[in-house]
Structure 1
């Protein structure tokens, strides 16, 4: 579907959800893995739809196996297709584990990553006497009883502006590893505990390591005060385990 080349280039925003279970994460790293990443898969369909070479800009990367309920991305195009036509085309030709929830025209200067003010991630910890057969691809099951009071103590120590290098898998970097976590909530359900993290940015594996640290605090395997030690030393070995990817969801990206 070739667009009208005489119209001004448009900036299109996508809101999407996806099951990351069979993908190598969001980011396309060259042509080799374009079909095994979320970005690459959507770009393939967008390029066929518009007749152009489309580069999709995501609000941030999700790792292999991580899911999203509210990922945001944008792309530029000369196409004159209506937004509802784009949404229909994308959902018709994308795999069923990627869904486009909303398509809209946005100002030319809108950038899904640079304009994002904060993000919310949810890590789903399954509990109860028996692991759920049907939720096993979207939760991580904890066999041990968790103390919510201790976990809340640990979570409170994580909130604020800190150097989160010790809570990440980042190796050597020239970029700042200081981030602000504005809120951590613990939502207790019948057979599940949701760990909800909101902040202005997250480092590689940061949410999964923070969640793993809180779980170890909740089981009594570590003291809540070790959170301060991780911040002080910036040492990954001082923090808890990295929980598996299938329990993690990018829930929402916030803009002004």
Structure 2
């Protein structure tokens, strides 16, 4: 039997999604909890990897198990064995053809950015922060060149293992409510640090250091060394993943009310 799970997690307590020798990843915590419920070792596969400090509002994973348990056991039962920073939101049986990673048509990220002279305390670790005023209009103007299929080498980390730097962005929207910016990005897939590297360039433009056309020049350069440093992970959330309707998994990005 193949089971799909929806997860949310606070990335601050973990070294990222992918299993590590120190056992401090989200994957390690989840596999240990599922194994306790199943009574046998279990391997899980995720829709997308997240780095240390990056959160998830709707990560999707799947695993195979020959052990028959009520579907509620894969939610409440597994949650009883998970640390406080991770929670299974839902579980459902899926077709054996479903794969959390390879069946995905698009992935969605949201970056929450606090634009305020003073650093946050209550939201520390849950939002990014920039102290100087940012222009919403300039930032929006800078994103238009990013939509469509492009070589994103200028926004790719040196450690990226993707076979190709070419990705197709279908959405790059920026909203502002008071001091809080919400940036939503959707694509067929993402390169390592791609969203955080785009954020670095976006903030550079928003604070007036460069004109919006500079984003076009960065994209055309295909050279990571010409772009600004990688921005902080704190405000980045894996917001969801879209699958073919035939698999019966809700595709819309999901956020709790306090993350909107």
Q: Which residue of 2 aligns with 1:155?
A: 143
Q: How many residues align?
A: 244
What residue number does 1:114 align with? 102
Is residue 169 from structure 1 mapped to residue 180 from structure 2 by the alignment?
A: no
What is the rounded CA distance, in whole Å, between the counterparts of 2:208 and 2:105 in structure 1? 35
Which residue in the other structure is 1:104 paired with? 92
Question: Aligned ranges for residues 95-244 of structure 1 at < 5 Å?
Answer: 95-170=83-158, 175-244=163-232
CA distance, structure 1, for counterparts of residue 113 and residue 187 of structure 2:
20
- Could you tell me how far apart the structure 1 residues matched to 2:115 and 2:211 are? 21
Q: Secondary structure at the match of 1:245?
A: coil
Distance 1:228 1:192 in 2: 26
Q: Secondary structure at the match of 2:75?
A: helix
Note if contact 1:227-1:239 (Cα within 8 Å) is conserved in structure 2.
no
Partner of 2:18: 27
| Partner residue in 2 for 1:14 | 5
* Structure 1 gap ranges (5+): 1-9
Partners of 2:47 and 2:93 lie apart in 1 by 16
Q: Is 1:61 aligned to 2:49, yes or no?
A: yes
**TM superposition shift of 1:154:** 0.8
For residues 204 and 129 of structure 1, the distance between their equivalents in structure 2, rounded to whole angstroms, comes to 30
Q: Distance in 2 between matches of 1:106 and 1:54?
A: 17
Cα distance in 2, alignment partners of residues 220 and 174 from structure 1: 32
The 1:205/1:144 distance shift into structure 2, 3 A limit, reads same
TM-score relative to the length of structure 2: 0.90
Please say if 1:250 is aligned against 2:238: yes
Could you say which residue in structure 1 is the equivalent of 2:248? none
> CA 1:99 to 1:236, structure 2 compared with 1: closer, same or farther past 3 Å?
same
1:48 equivalent in structure 2: 36
Are residues 115 and 173 of structure 1, via their aligned partners in 2, closer, same or farther at CA, if it must alter by over 3 Å?
A: closer
8 Å CA contact 1:67, 1:250 repeated in 2: yes
Q: TM-score, normalised by structure 1?
A: 0.91
**Larger mean Cα displacement after TM superposition, 221-230 or 79-88:** 221-230
- Structure 2 partner of 1:5: none
Based on CA coordinates, which of the two structures has the bigger radius of gyration?
1
* CA displacement, residues 87-146 of structure 1 (integer Å, 9 cap, x when unaligned): 111111100100100011000111000011111111111023433320111112111111
Deviation of 1:231 after TM superposition, in Å, equals 2.3
Residue in structure 2 matched with residue 6 of structure 1 by the alignment: none
- How much is the aligned-residue C-alpha RMSD, in angstroms? 1.4
Aligned CA distance change for structure 1 residues 42 and 126 (closer, same or farther; 3 Å): same
